[in-house]
Amino acid sequence: MILTNGVLVADPYADAAALEDGRIVTVGMGPAVAAGRPHDGIVIDLKGGALLPGFIDAHLHLFHTGLTAIGWRVDLSGLDREDALARLATAAGGRSGSAWTIGSGWDESVWPTRSYLTRRDLDRLSTKGPIAAVRMDGHLLIVNSEGLRRASKVLPGDLRSSLVDPERGELREEATWSLLRSIGPDETVLSEAFAAAARTFHRLGVTSVHTMTEPSWVPVLLKRGGRHRLRVTVYQEVASPEEIDRLVPPERFDGDWIRFGGVKAFADGSLGARNAAVGAPYVGGGSGTLNHSDEEMAQILSRAEGRGWQTAIHAIGDRAIEQVLKVHASVGSSHDLRHRIEHLELVSEDQVARARDLGLHLSMQPNFIGNWSGPGSMNEQRLGRARDEISNPLRRVLDAGARLAFGSDGMPVSPIYGLDSAVNAPYPAQRVTVEEAIACYTEGGARFAFEEDMKGSVAVGSMADLVVLDEDPRKDPARIGGRRIERVYVAGECVYDRAEGD
């Protein structure tokens, strides 16, 4: 196959690529490529569209996307308060009395009241069937009274006392995740969710993902790897050092479609849930919490390091970032493992420089800017204008020479939305160029997974994982959010064509 008459953003001297056996075998100008390669007659005219490497989402939750896509979770994203409650009520009405209704994606920061859902809100929907409504960031959920009663039976006592507010029906952090694990889907549902997630990602131009995953769900990925033409790097979540000993080991992974990434841990929560660990208090009080002591976090890192496993540690607030940096320094973690920090929303210039010097790789989400930064935004409400202006400082990270990759955390998955959020961010410390943003969504993710020699670029020898946009995204950066995904290839196979649908 030859793709010709396109725009290669990273190569001004090429407009075509030849694909063979799932790889890129030639890159150059169309006539020369056609003349130099035997092919079977398949020549695709890109009609001036942009030919890019397939987008690599360096941080998301594959099964969460798929469970929402198939309706197992009720999608509450983009809805106002009353519409979210109405959708939950409809879903609860269609379930038996004993079955959970689980909604996800609500975001009070865009509601006029800017207040969380409560147990009483959900009790008005049902007093018999259990209901759980997970906030968009996944760090807080609300249950109705029946849901609270059931949660009290499955959560350990320490979680019930420290991370549950019975009056409001709020569960946070490990209490949230423990409850969701206890009412999770079975293998059949997870398999369906995997397929639905892959279709969603392909439609959005994503050909590879780094998924943060509950370890008990990993066997479904291993069993179905390759069937859905999605390349998956798996980071297994742990809440304690001991859990590292029970993770699915690297030798179980095939290394082609489903790769072992490493260990995911949480240093703190989120700004939206007001439990990201910050130095200066939030507007209105409180400074969040650290999920682990320094000693426990060091044990998590040391156990992973001892096995030669990469870590990906969630740290949003400056206090959590400081803990992770100090622990890496004290352990003397290996630069060769390319250990990661996820999110870094309130990272200082000094912390960026120290992370760079420690060999750490920084995984950030520009769509957090698009959702929650800028005048009148949630971040301004939580942190004040001054801290919002320096939150998610993509520009400063790149200028410091730190390794950076972009992910979405599923909020939303769309790399086009992420590109727009990074290029047209409200504040200078956040803003990057089109070329830099694309590199963070392609080359960056490839490097984080030790795959820079096989993906992330339109180059000879690379995997033929490619995305075609309707137009060169550099042509009008202010309108990059309007660019369309025309066609997506994985291993040279077209997995999405906008003209034909999925």
In a domain, 87, yes or no: yes
- State the average pLDDT for the chain: 95
In this prediction, residues 476-499 reach a mean pLDDT of: 97
Which is more confident, 323 or 36? 323
In a domain, 502, yes or no: no
pLDDT band at 97 (very low <50, low <70, confident <90, very high): confident
Q: Are residues 340 and 408 in the same domain?
A: yes
Q: Which of 29-43, 60-74, 125-139 has the lowest mean pLDDT?
A: 29-43
pLDDT at residue 129 tops 70: yes
Residue 194 CA to residue 218 CA, distance in Å, equals 11
Residue in 384, 389, 397, 342 with CA at minimum distance from that of residue 369: 389
Residue 38 confidence (pLDDT)? 66
Residue 409 CA to residue 128 CA, distance in Å, equals 33
Residue 418 confidence (pLDDT)? 98
Which residues, at least 6 apart from 460, have a Cβ–Cβ distance to it below 8 Å? Answer: 24, 25, 26, 27
Q: Are residues 166 and 224 in the same domain?
A: no
CB 470 within 8 A of CB 452: no
Q: Are residues 172 and 251 in the same domain?
A: no
Q: State pLDDT tens for residues 366-408.
A: 999 999 999 999 999 999 999 999 999 999 999 999 999 999 9
Q: State pLDDT tens for residues 460-487.
A: 999 999 999 999 999 999 999 999 999 9
Q: Final residue of a domain: which of 128, 148, 182?
A: 182
Q: Supply the CATH number for residue 48's domain.
A: 2.30.40.10
Q: Are residues 380 and 437 in the same domain?
A: yes
Q: State pLDDT tens for residues 13-51.
A: 999 999 999 999 999 999 888 877 665 678 999 999 999
Residue 255 confidence (pLDDT)? 78
In a domain, 157, yes or no: yes
In this prediction, residues 266-277 reach a mean pLDDT of: 96
Q: Are residues 175 and 198 in the same domain?
A: no
In a domain, 279, yes or no: yes
Residue 31 confidence (pLDDT)? 87
In a domain, 62, yes or no: no
Residue 332 confidence (pLDDT)? 97
Residue 159 confidence (pLDDT)? 67
Give the domain extent around 109: 73-182
In a domain, 329, yes or no: yes
pLDDT band at 248 (very low <50, low <70, confident <90, very high): very high
Q: Final residue of a domain: which of 132, 157, 182?
A: 182
Q: How many domains does the chain have?
A: 3
Q: Final residue of a domain: which of 182, 201, 229?
A: 182
Q: Are residues 321 and 382 in the same domain?
A: yes
pLDDT at residue 344 tops 60: yes
In a domain, 16, yes or no: yes
In a domain, 318, yes or no: yes
Asked if the peptide bond before residue 393 counts as cis, ω within 30 degrees of 0, the response is no
Residue 36 CA to residue 112 CA, distance in Å, equals 62
Q: Are residues 150 and 193 in the same domain?
A: no
Q: State pLDDT tens for residues 167-221.
A: 999 999 889 989 999 998 999 999 999 999 999 999 999 999 999 999 999 999 9
In this prediction, residues 451-464 reach a mean pLDDT of: 97
Q: Are residues 194 and 174 in the same domain?
A: no
pLDDT at residue 361 tops 70: yes
Q: Supply the CATH number for residue 97's domain.
A: 3.10.310.70
Q: Are residues 195 and 175 in the same domain?
A: no
